[in-house]
Structure 1
């Protein structure tokens, strides 16, 4: 579908008369919403130094948040392949067997890939098996860093200095990488699944950590959590088929749109992204729900949610994914997302909107050089029983 066709479609779907009739109504008072916004974090001297350094590095053509190689005329975003790909396995003799308290998960609340694993850890009841800690939301030239006393209070559970014994002097996640591989070359990404016994990284591939958490600890879990099957045998083929296109076109599609450095690359990827969202909307409309494949949560829900929950607060404006937004353009996706957030604690408790918005808008200096964080949309997520005014009017017809 061309850009022009999408514009015509969006215009045709817009019911201006209905909007005017509802103009004096609102989901919430704008004044109330504005007053409810948490202030942006204080810019400590530590942050100012890192931010200034990143600006200087960006001006020379290199930045830790650049994803298009200098001189690449295609303008296409290309994601790095994960480097550590070992497995926690319940098979006899496995190098990394499931054990209580042995493993640690490093994540960022800002990162959708990392939050996949955090949601799975919560759903499967692995709190006693896998500890976790959260890096600071800002991604500077040294990569992800741990919080310090100078940062003051950073919202969210377990946003702490590196808690691992022997890591007291570690200031950045890259030091965990170098501990495992002293000559490591590559990006210092999250999530990181770390073995406290061998002092090595097991995996930094989110999809594989998600799969491990879903299956490999089952023999040690109570019946309630063992019964939660994120990758059930009867749906495995459908789940894999869904992963293949939602990863490329949606999870990665927002990045391919946002980090594109040519109009051609941007338009090609943003159109593909919204065609894929149309496909998700059609699928959810045909499902009895409430989850992607019906009555039970699967990997498909987790992998899609982490992108969709960030869509309106960040991707619409920051990555220019603005053909439509979720809350007014995709009613089935919107309802599915809100059900997960409001009704399943594992999703809400691992979603930190402050980390999400501050990270993207203050780390990607090539996109947002003045590090201004938009106030809206407000609220970040609507309650289950509320709709955007125009959408609510349309649904009542």
Structure 2
């Protein structure tokens, strides 16, 4: 079974592939791709948690007018991400019907998976990068000349080692753990992933009981990476991926923390529960063969008071 360019191995364990195109866009241009306003187009699916990170960071840093945005249909076909939300089913800037066209413009013989987020060079139509682990960090560190006045420092230089240490187990056990549970084809691999997911959530519940955000009083890259999985948890991962020990709404600290972020400008307005649910429940036909998309859960709770302000020093 394949999820974009990711697969399940012979043991029944989900394996997430490394990004094939890992170029960087840098302030000094030494990478061959210089920071240049208006040159690049960010392609996302609002359903994808990895792409969602880019939406949040782009918004928080005020880069909306610097890096343009294309949004793919949440429902993929056999050619993967498509631009059927746009007039004529064509991206209005790149003039392509499928994101895969930009991949092949970069590497004509490429026959691997097509993933989001992706950054495309508008003049050439070539894919620059689909390295979801690096892309948000580069928005924070390489595009500083174009950050809005008062933009947050999401990856402070003096805290990067500590942030990386917090991010690593969150990625392995939670961000990717829910996929390892959902796509496992053996009971053993599913249960191992299930234990990882809830072991990490329990540790985060404890950590966040005494601090407003993961690193203290300020939002950082670590919070963004955690949020995009939390916001999908009850809608998708709890049922669809069988991560059902409890819901996010049943973990008091994490639920309040997630609402705090959701109500912060740059977060809630980038969440699209319709796209999220339609993608997972329709595209993953081996998990949900009927293709029925759940009506719930009720999203109104995301706007209720969170009471986390008292944790700020």
User: 1:98 Cα shift?
Assistant: 1.4
Question: Pairwise mapping of residues 1-397 of structure 1 onto structure 2 (< 5 A)?
Answer: 67-69=6-8, 72-91=9-28, 93-147=30-84, 161-165=90-94, 167=95, 170-225=96-151, 228-287=152-211, 289=212, 291-328=213-250, 330-342=251-263, 344-379=264-299, 381-385=301-305
1:369 and 1:124 map into 2 onto residues whose CA distance is: 40
Q: Secondary structure at the match of 2:103?
A: helix
1:192 touches 1:201 (CA, 8 Å); kept in 2?
A: yes
Query: Structure 2 vs 1, CA of residues 149 and 105 (structure 1 numbering), >3 Å: closer, same or farther?
Result: closer
Q: Secondary structure at the match of 2:68?
A: strand
Specify every segment of 5 or more residues in structure 2 that has no aligned partner in the other structure, as ranges.
308-313
2:143 and 2:103 map into 1 onto residues whose CA distance is: 25
User: 1:149 Cα shift?
Assistant: 7.3
Q: Secondary structure at the match of 2:209?
A: helix
Scaled by the length of structure 2, the TM-score of the pair is 0.92
1:380 and 1:365 map into 2 onto residues whose CA distance is: 28
User: 1:137 Cα shift?
Assistant: 0.7
User: 1:335 Cα shift?
Assistant: 0.8
Q: Deviations over 1:227-273 (max 9, x none)?
A: x2111123212111011100000000000000001111101110111
1:335 touches 1:384 (CA, 8 Å); kept in 2?
A: no
Root mean square deviation of aligned Cα: 2.1
**Structure number with higher relative contact order (C-alpha < 8 Å, ≥ 6 residues apart):** 1
Q: What's 1:27 paired with?
A: none
User: 1:93 Cα shift?
Assistant: 4.7
Q: Which runs of 4+ in 1 moved over 6 A?
A: none
Q: Secondary structure at the match of 2:38?
A: coil
2:119 and 2:209 map into 1 onto residues whose CA distance is: 36
Query: Structure 2 vs 1, CA of residues 356 and 293 (structure 1 numbering), >3 Å: closer, same or farther?
Result: same
1:65 touches 1:364 (CA, 8 Å); kept in 2?
A: no
Aligned length: 307
User: 1:139 Cα shift?
Assistant: 2.0
Scaled by the length of structure 1, the TM-score of the pair is 0.73
Q: Deviations over 1:322-356 (max 9, x none)?
A: 0111101x1111111101111x2211111100000
1:377 and 1:357 map into 2 onto residues whose CA distance is: 10
1:88 and 1:294 map into 2 onto residues whose CA distance is: 30
1:172 and 1:149 map into 2 onto residues whose CA distance is: 11
Q: Secondary structure at the match of 2:42?
A: strand
2:4 touches 2:115 (CA, 8 Å); kept in 1?
A: no
Specify every segment of 5 or more residues in structure 1 that has no aligned partner in the other structure, as ranges.
1-61, 152-159, 388-397
2:153 and 2:304 map into 1 onto residues whose CA distance is: 26
User: 1:224 Cα shift?
Assistant: 1.6
Larger C-alpha radius of gyration, 1 or 2?
A: 1
1:68 touches 1:260 (CA, 8 Å); kept in 2?
A: no
2:24 touches 2:138 (CA, 8 Å); kept in 1?
A: yes
